[in-house]
Structure 1
């Protein structure tokens, strides 16, 4: 993970997002990227 992602995660936590919500968001994002690449 690069610094940009860590910053986003920290900001999301500060806004009150739960770890699970953040994880789900990244999982969905990864799936979208895999689909668009494949």
Structure 2
């Protein structure tokens, strides 16, 4: 996932699920449980 730039700049454990979705769309596709949905 080195192709993702914005996601790399932000910390892995985003402070907010919404922020993680915007920063890493691929994470939103992942199954719930990691602050998704």
- TM-score, structure 2 normalization: 0.24
Structure 1 or 2: more helix by fraction: 1
When normalised by structure 1's length, the TM-score is 0.24
Looking at both structures, which has the greater relative contact order when contacts are Cα pairs under 8 Å and sequence separation is at least 6? Answer: 2
